[in-house]
Amino acid sequence: MASVTSVWSSPERPAYPHQALAVVLQVRGGRLHGMLWRRAGEPFAGAWALPGGPLLPEETLGASVGRQLASKVEVAQLAHLEQLETRSDPHRDPRTRTVATAYLGLVPSDLDPVLPADTSWHPVDALPETAFDHGSIVESGLERLRAKLSYTNVAFALAPPTFSIAELREIYVAALGYEVTATNLQRVLLRRGVLEPTGEMAASGRAGGRPATLYRFVTSGLEVTDPFAVLRPPSAR
């Protein structure tokens, strides 16, 4: 009787390694950053890579990416995690053909996760040399985030629990990569029912002035709030 392995893996039906990867993004110091770890071994020794690793025989992809992330960051600190894409280029790994499924994870800006010594945050607009196709996967994660900022409430996963409109604007600008006005952002998000006032006011800054109203997101789960993108980059002139 043929073994299970021979039934499922043959020249006509080959079996390839499958990895789960994570693009973890956070706004830090007014810039959007991605989490990367530095490889010690070949291939791509010294280059930076996304958190991740092999899918085990009895794992789902979701369980696998959770396990991989747990070695780098406290998974509970991720406010949002969703499947991003699958890469299957036969030559993406120089060792052997490897399929990779990537996830997008978001961390609120008020958290400062403790990372292992080989892991750090890097601005997405100035990434170091990356291993495999991981730099391109970060770009895919960035595109997904920017698209969803236009038609969902996904910014809840980047923002602290409460914030002024000015503070929320800084998060949007960092994530979108272009300027938006606080007035327009407030108008759009309030019209969509995404935000609600907390009833509290922010403390006055050094310059004094009127204290700002504090807001929060109505829900902490992903929702489509408008199927038509309202937040768009400024037109080229």
pLDDT > 90: percent of the chain? 84
Please give the tally of structural domains in the chain. 2
Q: Which of 12, 24, 119, 29 is nearest to 79 (CA)?
A: 24
Same domain for 97 and 212, yes or no, is no
Q: What is the pLDDT of residue 82?
A: 98
Same domain for 47 and 12, yes or no, is yes
Over residues 45-54, mean pLDDT: 97
Whether residue 208 has pLDDT greater than 70: no
Same domain for 125 and 87, yes or no, is yes
Q: What is the pLDDT of residue 5?
A: 47
Q: Which of 145, 231, 146 is nearest to 191 (CA)?
A: 231
Q: Report residue 67: phi and psi, to 5°.
A: -65, -40
203 or 87, greater pLDDT: 87
* 14 within some domain: yes
Over residues 30-57, mean pLDDT: 97
Same domain for 40 and 125, yes or no, is yes
Q: Provide the CATH number for the domain around residue 138.
A: 3.90.79.10
Three-state DSSP class for residue 229: coil
Q: Provide the CATH number for the domain around residue 173.
A: 1.10.10.10
Cα–Cα distance for residue pair 214/108, rounded to 1 Å = 17
Q: Which of 132, 147, 100, 108 is nearest to 36 (CA)?
A: 132
* 141 within some domain: yes
Cis peptide before 11 (omega within 30 of 0): no
Domain residue limits at 197: 151-217
pLDDT tens-digit profile of 3-15? 444 455 666 666 8
* 174 within some domain: yes
Q: Read off the pTM.
A: 0.91
Confidence label for 233 from pLDDT (cuts 50, 70 and 90): confident
What contacts 61, CB < 8 A, 6 or more positions away?
A: 20, 55, 83, 101
Give the dihedral sign, CA 11/15/17/18: positive
Whether residue 62 has pLDDT greater than 50: yes
Same domain for 93 and 133, yes or no, is yes
Same domain for 114 and 48, yes or no, is yes
DSSP letters of 63-84? HHHHHHHHTTS-GGG-SEEEEE
Over residues 122-137, mean pLDDT: 98
Cα–Cα distance for residue pair 157/148, rounded to 1 Å = 12
Same domain for 38 and 124, yes or no, is yes
For residue 16 the two structure tokens come to 């390839």
